Structure 1
Amino acid sequence: MDPAAAPEEDTLVAPAAGKGPRRAGKGNWSGSLIVASLTGAFGSSFLYGYNLSVVNAPAVYIKKFYNETWERRYGFSVDESTLTLLWSITVSIFAIGGLVGAIIVTPIVKFFGRKCTLLLNNVFAVSAALLMSLSLLAGSFEMLILGRIIMGVDAGISLSALPMYLSEISPKEIRGSLGQVTAIFICVGVFTGQVLGLPEIFGKESRWPFLFGVIIVPALVQVVILPFLPESPRYLLLEKHNTSKAEKAFQTFLGKDDVSHEVEEVLAESRVQRNTKLVSVLQLLKTRSVRWQVITVVVTMGCYQLCGLNAGLVIERLGRRPLLIGGFGLMIVFFAILTVSLTLQNNVHWLPYLSIFCILAIIASFCIGPGGIPFVLTGEFFQQSQRPAAFMIAGTVNWLSNFAVGLLFPFIQSGLQTYCFLVFAAICFAGATYLFFVLPETKNKTLNEISQAFAKRNKVSLEMQEMNHYSGERKSSAEQESNFTSSVDNGETKKGIV
C-alpha cells in the first residue's frame, strides 16, 4: 500500500532515449508492470481473501465429516461443544499461521528477494491445498487443520512480500493506485469463495474438498508467469549490488531506456536510510507525539478484521476519511437488514434472496473503504524511522483480530442465532464513530501536516512535533512517498497485510 500517495497528475517525466516527453500517471502502466501486479495479486492477496471465506459454505458438511471421523475412531459421536471448538480452531488457526508468516517474512525477503519469495511461497499454498482437499479421502480432519495453518503462513508471507514488491517496481506517480490491487484482489477472493461455495458448484457434501483444491490454480499461475519478470530493481541494487540487472529491471517495469534518474534516486534514499535509526515497537508506543496515531491504527486494523468479513482506485479521489466511515456505515445498514431477513426468512419466500444481496452488499461496502485504507493510513501516519514498528503493530493486531473472529464466531452464532450479525454491526458503529471524531483527512497531506492535525490530541506543541521528524520530512508529498519506498528496502518494513 502506498503510504503517502501524491496526487496523480499528468506531469511530464524525463524522455526515454530517442523518444519525446512522456506523461506520468496512466502512461506509466507498462505491460510488464500490469502483468506483475495482476499475477502477484492473483497468487497472493486473492488467496488470502479466498481462504477467509471458503470455509463458510461447506461448514455443515465439514462438521459432519469431523463427527463421522470421531465416531469411527472412538466409537461414539463427538459432543456439540467439542465439535464447535474443533470447527472454531479450523477457522481461526489460519490467522495463527498468518502471524507466523508475517514474523518470518523479513529475513526471507532479505535473503531471497521479493519476487523469489513470492515464488517460493507457492510451496506452502500447494502443500496446503493438497492436505485440505485430500483430508476427506484420507479420513483425517487433522490434515484439514494442518492445511489451514500452512495456508495462513502463505498468507502472512504474501501480504508482506507482495506490497513490498509492487511498491518497489512501480513509478511513484501511480504507486497509490497500484497498491490498491492488493485490496481489490482480497475482496475478489472473498467473493469467489462465496460463489464457488454455492450448492450448484462445490457447495455439496461430495464436492467440498474441491473448494480447497482450487487453491492450486492461482499458485500455479504465479509459478508459471513470475519467473519471466524481473526481480525488484531496488533489491538488485541495494542488496545484490548489481547495477546492470537493476537498470534492466527499471527499464522493463518503467517502459523506458533512460533510468539513470531512478537509479540515483534509490541510492540517495539508501544514504538517507543509513543515517536514520529505526524506532522499536516499545519506543514507538512510548512516543507521546504519535500516541493517537498508534491508537487509530490499532482501532482501524481491529475493525478491519472484527467487522465480520473474514479499496478500490477511488481512494485518491474521495479521500480516506469518507471511504472508511462510509464503508463501515453501509456495512451497519446491510448487517441490520441481513439480521431482519434471516429472522423472517421462513415467513416470506423472497427474503432468502434479500439475504444473499445483503451479503454481497457487505462485501462491496468493505471493498470501498475498510478493505485497503488501514494499510495506507499506517504508512501515512509515521515518519520513516517509525514505520517498521508501526507495521509490526498493525500486522499483529490484524492477525490476532482475525484469530479472535474465527475462534469466537461459531460460539456467537450458536448463542445469538440470526442476531449474531448485530455484534459486527456494533463493531462497525464503534469504529465509524471513533474515526468520525478522531481521524483527520490525510489525502494529499504531508507527514508534517498529518502530525499537526494530531498534535492537539497528543497534547504536544507543534514545535515538538516537528523536532521529532528528521529534516527530510519537510519535503513534498511526492518526495515523502519516494522516501517511504526506501524503508521497504532490505526487507525491513512489514506490511502484514494483508
Structure 2
Amino acid sequence: HFLLTCLGVGWLMNCIISQKDWSGSLIVASLAGAFGSSFLYGYNLSVVNAPAVYIKKFYNETWQRRYGFSVEESTLTLLWSITVSIFAIGGLVGAIIVTPIVKFFGRKCTLLLNNVFAVVAALLMSLSSLAGSFEMLILGRIIMGVDAGISLSALPMYLSEISPKEIRGSLGQVTAIFICIGVFTGQVLGLPEIFGKESRWPYLFGMIIVPSLIQVVVLPFLPESPRYLLLEKHDTSKAEKAFQTFLGKDDVSHEVEEVLSESRVQRNTKLVSVLQLLRTHAVRWQVITVVATMGCYQLCGLNAIWYYTNSIFSEAGINHETIPYVTLSTGAIETVAAVFSGLVIERLGRRPLLIGGFGLMVVFFAVLTVSLTLQNNVHWLPYLSIFCILAIIASFCIGPGGIPFVLTGEFFQQSQRPAAFMIAGTVNWLSNFAVGLLFPFIQSGLQTYCFLVFAAICSAGAIYLFFVLPETKNKTLNEISQAFAKRNKLLHPNTSQLFINGKPQIPKVFLI
C-alpha cells in the first residue's frame, strides 16, 4: 500500500511537470505549503487511533500517582473524548482568527508563522509522558487544532491566488491529496513495528515537527501571493516578480493588467468583514453554496466510517492483530482516489466530480446498510461491507474531499476571500465537532441503519449542487460571478443589463 501511494504521487508529479502551466516554483510552493499544512491536518486526524490504549493507560497511571486511586471508567472515557474532539475546537478558533492574520501578514507569511503553533503543540504532546501530565497532551491537541484551522484556510487561499486559471483546480486538489497522505502516514507510523508501542507513542506526536521545519526552510525562498501584493499592498514591482516566478515567464503584462483592473475598482475598498459578506446581495448564492458544500463535506459520514471500520473488519473474521495492517488499505485508497481527482479535475470539471462523488456515496451507503443488517445471516456479506467502506472513501476523495476548498477560492473577489474562508472554516469545524459528538448517539439509536442518515445528507448535497452549482473550470472570477448573477437577481430577466433595485448597475464584482 505504501508503494502504491508513492506510485500514485509520482504519477501526479510526472503529469504536473509535463504540463506547460506548471512552473518549478509553482510545484515547490504547492508541495511545501501542503506538506506543512494540510498534511499535518490529515496526520492529526489518524495519529491518535493507534496509541489510544497506551494513552488511556498513561492517563490512568498519572491519575493514580496524583490521587492514589485509579480513574473511574466514565472519567477516563470523558478525558479521552476531550483529547480527540478538542482538536475540532482548536480548528474553529483557527478558522475565526485567520481573516485578520492573512490581511496583516499575507498568505505566505501566515503559513510560515502558523508553524509556531505546530512546533509548540508537538513539544507539548511528545513530552507529556515524560512530564507525567496528560493536560499537556490535551493542550497540545487544541493548539494543533488552531494550526489546522488557520492552514486549511490560508493554504487554499494562497494556492488559488498563485495559480493560472487553467490549472487552478488541479493545484487546489493538492490540499486534499496531502490530507489523505497525512492520514495514511499516521496509520503507517502507528504500526507496532514503528511507533505503535507503549514506549514509543510520544514519538508519533514529535514527528509533527518534521513537516513544519521543511515548510519553514522552503517557503521563505518563494514569493508572496501576487494578487495579495497588487490588490492589498499595491506593490506592482513585487507582484510582477511573483508572477514571473510562479508562471515561469518574463512577460506577465497580461496577468498584471488583469489583476490591476480589479485593483482599480477595489483601491478604496477595505477588506470585507464576515457580516458585510453575508449582507452582500451579489454573492448571496456563492455563500450559500460554500456553506452547503462545506457542511456536506463533514456531515457526509466519512468520520463515521473511520469510527466503524475496526468492528466491520472484525465481523469479517479478520484477526484483531492484523486489523491495523488491513486498515492501511483505507488510507491507500483515499490517497490514490485524491490523486486521481487531481489529474482529472481540469478535464471533467468540479461539478461532475462533486455531484458524482456524493451520488456514489449514497449508493454505497445504501448497500452498506443492507450488508450490515444481514451480514450475520450470509457468510460473505461482511466482505461486501469492506468493499463498501473502501468505495465510500474513494467516492468521497474523488470529489467532495477537496473541491469545496477549491470553490471557496474561486467564488469570491480579493477583498471578500478571507471572510469567505472564515465562513467556510467555521462551518467545516462546527460540522466536524457535531459528527464527533452526535454520531455515537445516532449509531446507538439506529444501529446499522445509522448510515441512512448520511445517505440522506449526501443525496441532499448532490441535488442542491445539481440545480445551483455552475461549472467553474477555466473560468475567471468575472465569468463565475455572471453564472450566479441571475440567481442573485442581478440580471434583468429579459436583457443582459444588470439591475439593482430596478436601476441599471454594474456591480463591482463584475469589473475585474
**TM-score above 0.5, yes or no:** yes
Contact 1:160–1:495 (Cα < 8 Å) also in 2: no
Contact 1:266–1:486 (Cα < 8 Å) also in 2: no
Tell me the distance in 2 between the aligned counterparts of 1:408 and 1:161: 29
- Identity among equivalent pairs (%): 92
Instruction: Compare 177-186 and 227-236 and name the one that shifted more.
Output: 227-236
**Distance apart, 1:41 and its partner CA:** 0.8
Q: Give CA deviations for 1:265-309 in whole Å, capped at 9, x if unaligned.
A: 443322122255766544554566765554433222111112233
**Distance apart, 1:234 and its partner CA:** 4.0
**Distance apart, 1:413 and its partner CA:** 5.7
Structure 1 280/130 Cα, relative in aligned 2: closer, same or farther at 3 Å? closer
Q: Give CA deviations for 1:430-472 in whole Å, capped at 9, x if unaligned.
A: 433444455455556677887787788778xxxxxxxxxxxxx
Structure 1 179/454 Cα, relative in aligned 2: closer, same or farther at 3 Å? closer
Structure 1 189/350 Cα, relative in aligned 2: closer, same or farther at 3 Å? farther
Aligned to 1:447: 477
**Distance apart, 1:245 and its partner CA:** 4.0
**Distance apart, 1:346 and its partner CA:** 9.0
Tell me the distance in 2 between the aligned counterparts of 1:42 and 1:98: 18
**Distance apart, 1:150 and its partner CA:** 0.9
Tell me the distance in 1 between the aligned counterparts of 2:377 and 2:190: 25
1:143-158 alignment to 2 at 5 Å? 143-158=136-151
Instruction: Compare 196-205 and 173-182 and name the one that shifted more.
Output: 196-205
Instruction: Compare 358-367 and 442-451 and name the one that shifted more.
Output: 442-451
Q: Give CA deviations for 1:168-207 in whole Å, capped at 9, x if unaligned.
A: 3333332232222112212222233233334444334443
Tell me the distance in 2 between the aligned counterparts of 1:158 and 1:102: 9
Structure 1 105/490 Cα, relative in aligned 2: closer, same or farther at 3 Å? farther
Tell me the distance in 2 between the aligned counterparts of 1:497 and 1:359: 47
Contact 2:108–2:219 (Cα < 8 Å) also in 1: yes
SS state of the match for residue 77, structure 1?
Answer: coil
Instruction: Compare 348-357 and 269-278 and name the one that shifted more.
Output: 348-357
Contact 1:55–1:91 (Cα < 8 Å) also in 2: yes
Alignment partner of 1:281 is 2:281 = no
Contact 2:99–2:422 (Cα < 8 Å) also in 1: no
Alignment partner of 1:93 is 2:123 = no
Q: Give CA deviations for 1:243-280 in whole Å, capped at 9, x if unaligned.
A: 54444333322222233444444433221222557665
Structure 1 415/84 Cα, relative in aligned 2: closer, same or farther at 3 Å? farther
Contact 1:392–1:496 (Cα < 8 Å) also in 2: no
**Distance apart, 1:149 and its partner CA:** 1.0
**Runs (5+) with no aligned partner, structure 2:** 1-17, 305-341, 503-507
1:101-112 alignment to 2 at 5 Å? 101-112=94-105
1:242-281 alignment to 2 at 5 Å? 243-274=236-267, 280-281=273-274
Alignment partner of 1:364 is 2:394 = yes
**Distance apart, 1:369 and its partner CA:** 0.7
Contact 1:187–1:363 (Cα < 8 Å) also in 2: no
Provide the alpha-carbon RMSD of the alignment: 5.9
SS state of the match for residue 313, structure 1?
Answer: helix
**Distance apart, 1:100 and its partner CA:** 1.9
Structure 1 438/403 Cα, relative in aligned 2: closer, same or farther at 3 Å? same
Structure 1 171/427 Cα, relative in aligned 2: closer, same or farther at 3 Å? closer
TM-score, reference length from structure 1: 0.74
**Distance apart, 1:46 and its partner CA:** 1.1
Tell me the distance in 2 between the aligned counterparts of 1:76 and 1:495: 64
**Distance apart, 1:216 and its partner CA:** 1.6
Structure 1 485/451 Cα, relative in aligned 2: closer, same or farther at 3 Å? closer
Contact 1:394–1:496 (Cα < 8 Å) also in 2: no
Instruction: Compare 339-348 and 314-323 and name the one that shifted more.
Output: 339-348
**Distance apart, 1:397 and its partner CA:** 0.8
Structure 1 225/294 Cα, relative in aligned 2: closer, same or farther at 3 Å? closer
| Among 479, 488, 496, the residue aligned to 2:499 | 488
Tell me the distance in 2 between the aligned counterparts of 1:215 and 1:271: 43
| Among 204, 229, 233, the residue aligned to 2:226 | 233
Contact 1:230–1:249 (Cα < 8 Å) also in 2: yes
Contact 1:160–1:497 (Cα < 8 Å) also in 2: no
Aligned to 1:425: 455
Contact 2:156–2:405 (Cα < 8 Å) also in 1: no
Structure 1 349/137 Cα, relative in aligned 2: closer, same or farther at 3 Å? farther
Structure 1 135/410 Cα, relative in aligned 2: closer, same or farther at 3 Å? farther
**Distance apart, 1:34 and its partner CA:** 0.8
Instruction: Compare 112-121 and 284-293 and name the one that shifted more.
Output: 284-293
Contact 2:165–2:474 (Cα < 8 Å) also in 1: no
Contact 1:395–1:496 (Cα < 8 Å) also in 2: no
**Distance apart, 1:162 and its partner CA:** 1.8
Structure 1 371/63 Cα, relative in aligned 2: closer, same or farther at 3 Å? same
Aligned to 1:189: 182
Structure 1 439/180 Cα, relative in aligned 2: closer, same or farther at 3 Å? same
**Distance apart, 1:401 and its partner CA:** 1.0
Tell me the distance in 2 between the aligned counterparts of 1:32 and 1:273: 28
**Distance apart, 1:125 and its partner CA:** 1.0
**Distance apart, 1:383 and its partner CA:** 6.4
Q: Give CA deviations for 1:417-439 in whole Å, capped at 9, x if unaligned.
A: 77665554443344334444554
TM-score, reference length from structure 2: 0.72
Tell me the distance in 1 between the aligned counterparts of 2:260 and 2:285: 34
Tell me the distance in 2 between the aligned counterparts of 1:413 and 1:134: 35
Contact 1:67–1:77 (Cα < 8 Å) also in 2: yes
Contact 1:119–1:222 (Cα < 8 Å) also in 2: yes
Structure 1 495/298 Cα, relative in aligned 2: closer, same or farther at 3 Å? farther
Tell me the distance in 1 between the aligned counterparts of 2:475 and 2:240: 32
Greater RCO between the two (CA within 8 Å, min separation 6)?
1
Instruction: Compare 130-139 and 118-127 and name the one that shifted more.
Output: 130-139
SS state of the match for residue 314, structure 1?
Answer: helix
Contact 1:197–1:211 (Cα < 8 Å) also in 2: yes
Structure 1 239/485 Cα, relative in aligned 2: closer, same or farther at 3 Å? farther
